[in-house]
A and B are shown apart, each in its own frame.
Chain A
């Protein structure tokens, strides 16, 4: 599709400016043609277009992004590309569509135009397709790739206003009252103290207050009793656990990758813990934002800051990526980072600009791609972090001490007891080297056809590094004087430098050996001879067919030995039996060729060879080094050994001594166990080892391009970093640019972006403040001042109280971005403390409560319902932090459930916990029967009801158990923070009594279960 943008500057003697390389020549007679064309337009074509096309393309709607109301719009074309080429009707898509030559046929779902009408349109195009006036009077086509001053006037983009509260008193109330006065509404009366403390506790901590907390508040006559309650709740560690959950919705947080296999991200929970700690510590929100985008660049070496970047990496990512999906997948991943960041901090649907300039907000596609470059090199990595350096240092010292002790023990045993046993053995009849063991083959040379490099290891293996060719042959050379060689063992050893530790170098740690060829050249001279391999066995085979070890000695280069499905990360070995034993006097040079053609880049990473010289080779058995094997005869004859021989022999022999092994393994065990002071953490940053999926391409692309229609196959210019033109980005990025120090492994682009985003003067900071206070308001008042908390653009809702929002945003910034002060501000208002009792007059005057002159009860979130049930049952385990679980039997708070995308926890999902796929600014509330089924039948609810019943039975405050009255009252105090009415006591007694046949505990549990199931328990009043 040709790509040109044309703007008509003067109508008839049209001067055409072209913005891209495709230029078409104007016909020499274009002025005359345009004059004729204009006549035709007036007489016929305008009518035809109005009648048949305009409704869908510029009138009522703009389908396919094509608006022909103006000539500019006509020439801009639509989502299918250019609609026409002026002066060349035959090359015009629009004409082909109305001629029904290409699909979709136009006009859609209507009869074809009459032939003479089509002919007139064609002629008009050939005459240059001029307009005398727009088809819709006064319409001007806006070039959405340009941001104008008009665009900057949208309320969310202008600098923060600094309104003063209209009257004295609490500023929040003052703003709300001023607006409500227009409708002559005033606040509802203050709720009673029981309701208030329950409301604040559930809001701030997600748990109901205990009866003792309620009583203390009721008894507190001091004027600041309420402030004390709010402060205590804000200071509770439970606060962070509740408010982190809101942010995790926004951050689309989960601990698995989604897509095909939904692989676990077992180290992702650190991000959740970071969010909880940040909330509890009242971390300034701007810093909270900066760390999540570029913690590694803002605070190098700070483990919390690095954990924070888990935000960027929390999105979905496929685990199986074919070659032609590599680019699209990477753009998707970057889009996920940018779109989530924009929704979460700026309340903008920037992702819409991926395929075209944003239809509603002033976000050109160019801005999108310029911002996208921020994440060009950003990838997920599991990084080993020292989470508690002081503790680690202490442990290291202890460890060294312990190691020294164990080492000394071993050495003293070797020097003393062991020497004696060794001498005894040398003198005994048992002296000798056991046969049938493998002899390690000293490979002296190894080469890779594809250019991999090898380094010899102490254990006789060779470690591959560098190039990992798609297709390769390794040639290993070794000489041996061994006689009667019956077979060859090939070990494929694992190593920390391989993906998943190998043993192969493929992305998944696998290898695929298509063929092994062994040939021998006598050392004394003679021709090279290939040795036939008769059979093979292996420690592990991926399958028994095309990936079996047998298929590595067949002729098919497309089949071969591989070890996935259980063999990854472990040492593997295969033993090959020669068809005939190799027995050459004077020894041979062995040439072993390992071929890898089965799958791309599937080579063995650390090969080692050994020989068997005794009987049919068995896979099991350690290799005996050649130097030891050669001592066999000397040993049997008790010949004198040289000191060097004696030492070599001793070092080999001691491994067989039980006493030595035990001491040695104690040392090794200790060493292994204690080196694990570091903790792997999932981060999303630059310069760390990327987490690799089954991909046929690299983990990230070198460059980010501007894509036409979001399609990686339609690359345009390379994008360079830039920010939203509508939020200060029009004059470049210099103001925010941060250049990392020499040698840093990051580019500084994310820090630069975060500097812009949090800049309250010229960048996104003012908008971020608005979005942030609005989120807090939304949770406390049931709806935001802007009802669409993730969309502050033109498709979002307008603020109901613009000045209040401006003032609160200013407060947040002035208070150093501390959010706890905002909570305190909101909760101390009269607005928050209103009663939720129905008021028909107000409901009629303001049905959606946009004026906040009353409170509407609302259903609690899934986590709060479950945590509250656990709490009232006395079963809640308040252990904080660490790995989560999918086990619904867990008694920890719900925020510690592992969020596995394919196995979302039922009790959460049923009560509307969102799917963590994209940023969620608010949750829907549904009322459906699976919720009821859960409360009626789930074994957990039942178990907690039983626990609640037992708690009541043992509660001294529920002492008079005869007629259950005090027990019922206690249950109400615990579960609903209030005393039951006489009717309730009466009904409850009758209900408990009717179930006594099953025993008092069961009857009581039945009652407790009903209490947990009531509307009141599940609602915030």
Chain B
């Protein structure tokens, strides 16, 4: 007879387990006992235990947010010499250079230039490090989203959150380790849908768990109406009895024990998950701080506050999307840049500012990494129309990071005079990923998985570099 303790000790995995253990050892991790999600040490001590990734879906304009370009002001309306109209998505609508319609000012001790779009977040700039020289490989949403999330423009590779969970396991026993919250305002998923948080060729257990914005956030979390808690407990006890009876002398005893344990975990998750998602347990002042009482931003406030509650409970990787699928339903300001960006910025400004402040006041910021970026930037020229906008720009965008391991208030890299291309200390998406993994204690060259005849990596085969300049 196997004891309950014995069973719990050998928590969960199946046949692919031996293969997985060998992959993990190959990738430089101490292979855990039995559970593919058991927490494990990285290649070296990492500063970040958790990541909250604020994904500005659609591609916010760097020159209208954090990359101040006085030169644009001066050359407003002039043609941009040598511009290839194919750079953006609408070659026929390329106009002249367009100054930012927003006013810029300097904020904080760091003197960070920021636009009028983020009045509250601007008060937190001294916590943030900016990379102004990001660039990517595609001028089209879904390939660029895949690039940012999976390191390739093609569909079906594992996402960053999956790689991290594969490498480090989960700190939480009764919550998923990688959680994704899409824009909840009926705007649809980001382009490419669930492929943005897929486990790709990694085992499915590392896939992101998408919280449904409406109804039950996680499938099958609620008992059937006619089954009481007591009865379900009896069911599980009876099930364990039968399973133990059947298991005696089985050649795959461990695997079957793991299965028994998975029911116990599931039973606990039924209470743990709703508890984590219930922001009403937060005091009034916290809810107000995030903006839960403000109709224009309550949805992002809910996501940010939930994210904090999740990392507090050991969830490894949380991704929040601002903006949904179609143009104008996201930061994709092709037409009416002012209306588009003003609206979306107002939705995130207070919640993001509150998230940083709240993480800090709880001492969580020192081991939580907060990342904010879109999938690309926008062009310094206008996209012509009744109300002008800006088209996609794969050559430059700004990302900011804050928290664990980040040197606050620094600015790394730069774009050219008008913000068209990253020119100084260019940072590729692979460099960005390598830096993120580094902060979590993972060597991006060692984090591999043998698939299709190759040791696959998040950062691909070309060399990538860690952006040391933003590390504390």
Interface residues of A (CB under 8 A from B): 63-65, 79, 103-104, 108, 258-262, 316, 318, 320-325, 332, 343, 349, 351-352, 359-361, 545-546, 551, 556, 558-559, 599-600, 696, 782, 790-791, 793, 795-796, 836-839, 843, 848, 854-859, 901-902, 904, 906, 909-910, 912, 914-915, 917-918, 924-939, 942, 981, 983-984, 987-988, 991, 994-995, 998, 1002, 1006-1007, 1009-1011, 1013-1016, 1018-1019
Given contacts A924-B16, A932-B265, A936-B232, contact A323 B239 (CB under 8 A): no
- Evaluate contact between B14 and A918: CB separation under 8 angstroms: no
- Evaluate contact between B249 and A837: CB separation under 8 angstroms: yes
B250-284 at interface with A (beta carbon < 8 Å): 250-253, 255-256, 258-260, 262-263, 265-267, 269-270
- Evaluate contact between A984 and B245: CB separation under 8 angstroms: yes
In angstroms, how far is the closest chain A Cβ from the Cβ of B191?
4
- Evaluate contact between A917 and B200: CB separation under 8 angstroms: yes
Query: Is B346 in contact with chain A by the CB < 8 A criterion?
Result: no
Question: How distant is the Cα of A260 from the Cα of B58 in the complex, in angstroms?
Answer: 12
From A79, A546, A926, A930, give the contact of B13 (CB < 8 A): A926
What B residues does A942 contact at CB under 8 A?
224, 226-227
From A320, A837, A859, A984, give the contact of B14 (CB < 8 A): A859
Q: Give 23 pairs: A residue, B residue, CB < 8 Å, sorted on A.
A: A260-B191, A322-B89, A349-B452, A352-B453, A359-B454, A782-B15, A795-B454, A856-B252, A859-B15, A902-B195, A912-B204, A914-B204, A917-B200, A928-B262, A929-B265, A932-B267, A933-B221, A942-B226, A983-B245, A987-B245, A991-B235, A1006-B227, A1015-B247
In angstroms, how far is the closest chain A Cβ from the Cβ of B378?
15
- Evaluate contact between B239 and A987: CB separation under 8 angstroms: no
Question: How distant is the Cα of A914 from the Cα of B267 in the complex, in angstroms?
Answer: 26
What B residues does A332 contact at CB under 8 A?
154
What A residues does B251 contact at CB under 8 A?
836-839, 843, 854-857
From A361, A931, A991, give the contact of B234 (CB < 8 A): A991
Query: Is B418 in contact with chain A by the CB < 8 A criterion?
Result: no
What A residues does B192 contact at CB under 8 A?
258-260
Using C-beta atoms within 8 Å of the partner chain, give the interface range for chain B.
Answer: 35 or more
User: Besides A63-B463, A930-B219, A936-B266, 18 other CB < 8 A contacts?
Assistant: A64-B462, A79-B461, A103-B465, A260-B192, A793-B453, A795-B454, A858-B15, A915-B156, A918-B452, A927-B12, A927-B13, A928-B262, A929-B265, A930-B266, A937-B221, A937-B224, A1009-B235, A1014-B243
Query: Is B114 in contact with chain A by the CB < 8 A criterion?
Result: no
What A residues does B219 contact at CB under 8 A?
906, 910, 930, 933-934, 938
- B156 nearest in chain A by CB position: A917
In angstroms, how far is the closest chain A Cβ from the Cβ of B288?
34
Question: How distant is the Cα of A1006 from the Cα of B242 in the complex, in angstroms?
Answer: 14
In angstroms, how far is the closest chain B Cβ from the Cβ of A191?
13
What B residues does A994 contact at CB under 8 A?
234
Question: How distant is the Cα of A258 from the Cα of B194 in the complex, in angstroms?
Answer: 10
- A188 nearest in chain B by CB position: B251
- Evaluate contact between B243 and A349: CB separation under 8 angstroms: no
B128-167 at interface with A (beta carbon < 8 Å): 138-143, 154-156
Question: How distant is the Cα of A318 from the Cα of B141 in the complex, in angstroms?
Answer: 11
B367-382 at interface with A (beta carbon < 8 Å): none
- Evaluate contact between A324 and B256: CB separation under 8 angstroms: no
What B residues does A987 contact at CB under 8 A?
238, 241-242, 245
- B251 nearest in chain A by CB position: A838
- Evaluate contact between B224 and A901: CB separation under 8 angstroms: no
Question: How distant is the Cα of A65 from the Cα of B463 in the complex, in angstroms?
Answer: 11
From A325, A782, A914, A934, give the contact of B143 (CB < 8 A): A325
Given contacts A332-B154, A928-B12, contact A320 B141 (CB under 8 A): yes
Query: Is B91 in contact with chain A by the CB < 8 A criterion?
Result: yes
From B15, B92, B450, give the contact of A795 (CB < 8 A): B450
Question: How distant is the Cα of A927 from the Cα of B462 in the complex, in angstroms?
Answer: 35
Given contacts A927-B13, A928-B262, contact A545 B386 (CB under 8 A): yes
What A residues does B384 contact at CB under 8 A?
558
- Evaluate contact between A600 and B92: CB separation under 8 angstroms: yes
What B residues does A938 contact at CB under 8 A?
219-220
Given contacts A926-B13, A930-B220, A936-B232, contact A1014 B239 (CB under 8 A): yes
- Evaluate contact between A324 and B262: CB separation under 8 angstroms: no
Question: How distant is the Cα of A1018 from the Cα of B154 in the complex, in angstroms?
Answer: 35
What B residues does A859 contact at CB under 8 A?
14-15, 255
What A residues does B222 contact at CB under 8 A?
937
Looking at B155, B199, B201, B263, the one whose CB has the most chain A CB atoms below 10 A away is: B155
Question: How distant is the Cα of A369 from the Cα of B155 in the complex, in angstroms?
Answer: 22
Given contacts A559-B385, A991-B234, contact A909 B245 (CB under 8 A): no
- Evaluate contact between B463 and A104: CB separation under 8 angstroms: yes
Query: Is B86 in contact with chain A by the CB < 8 A criterion?
Result: yes
From A796, A848, A926, A931, give the contact of B16 (CB < 8 A): A926
- A836 nearest in chain B by CB position: B251
Question: How distant is the Cα of A936 from the Cα of B233 in the complex, in angstroms?
Answer: 10
From A325, A915, A1015, give the contact of B246 (CB < 8 A): A1015
What B residues does A988 contact at CB under 8 A?
238
What A residues does B266 contact at CB under 8 A?
929-930, 932-933, 936
Query: Is B424 in contact with chain A by the CB < 8 A criterion?
Result: no
- Evaluate contact between A64 and B463: CB separation under 8 angstroms: yes
Question: How distant is the Cα of A846 from the Cα of B232 in the complex, in angstroms?
Answer: 41
- Evaluate contact between A325 and B140: CB separation under 8 angstroms: yes
From A63, A261, A838, A902, give the contact of B194 (CB < 8 A): A902
- A842 nearest in chain B by CB position: B251
- B228 nearest in chain A by CB position: A998
What A residues does B351 contact at CB under 8 A?
none
In angstroms, how far is the closest chain B Cβ from the Cβ of A710?
11
Question: How distant is the Cα of A26 from the Cα of B237 in the complex, in angstroms?
Answer: 84
From A79, A361, A795, give the contact of B462 (CB < 8 A): A79
Query: Is B300 in contact with chain A by the CB < 8 A criterion?
Result: no
What B residues does A981 contact at CB under 8 A?
245
- Evaluate contact between A320 and B142: CB separation under 8 angstroms: yes
What A residues does B234 contact at CB under 8 A?
991, 994-995, 1006
In angstroms, how far is the closest chain B Cβ from the Cβ of A794?
8
Question: How distant is the Cα of A104 from the Cα of B335 in the complex, in angstroms?
Answer: 40
Given contacts A258-B195, A838-B250, contact A936 B452 (CB under 8 A): no
Query: Is B357 in contact with chain A by the CB < 8 A criterion?
Result: no
- Evaluate contact between B220 and A937: CB separation under 8 angstroms: yes
Query: Is B198 in contact with chain A by the CB < 8 A criterion?
Result: yes
From B194, B204, B227, give the contact of A926 (CB < 8 A): B204
From B86, B241, B267, give the contact of A323 (CB < 8 A): B86
Looking at A258, A836, A839, the one whose CB has the most chain B CB atoms below 10 A away is: A258
Given contacts A79-B462, A929-B269, contact A259 B224 (CB under 8 A): no
Given contacts A63-B463, A843-B251, contact A546 B143 (CB under 8 A): no
- Evaluate contact between A937 and B453: CB separation under 8 angstroms: no
Given contacts A559-B385, A926-B36, contact A546 B465 (CB under 8 A): no
- Evaluate contact between B262 and A931: CB separation under 8 angstroms: yes
What A residues does B241 contact at CB under 8 A?
987
- In the complex, the 8 A-B pairs of residues with the closest C-beta atoms, listed nearest first: A917-B156, A925-B14, A902-B193, A932-B266, A924-B16, A349-B453, A929-B266, A795-B453
In angstroms, how far is the closest chain B Cβ from the Cβ of A525?
41
Query: Is B5 in contact with chain A by the CB < 8 A criterion?
Result: no
- Evaluate contact between A932 and B226: CB separation under 8 angstroms: no
In angstroms, how far is the closest chain B Cβ from the Cβ of A788?
9
- A986 nearest in chain B by CB position: B241
In angstroms, how far is the closest chain B Cβ from the Cβ of A643?
56
- Evaluate contact between B18 and A848: CB separation under 8 angstroms: yes
- B146 nearest in chain A by CB position: A259
From B255, B269, B270, give the contact of A927 (CB < 8 A): B255
Looking at B18, B154, B221, B260, the one whose CB has the most chain A CB atoms below 10 A away is: B154
What A residues does B140 contact at CB under 8 A?
318, 320-322, 325
What A residues does B30 contact at CB under 8 A?
none
From B141, B142, B226, B260, give the contact of A1002 (CB < 8 A): B226
Given contacts A258-B195, A795-B450, A918-B156, contact A926 B220 (CB under 8 A): no
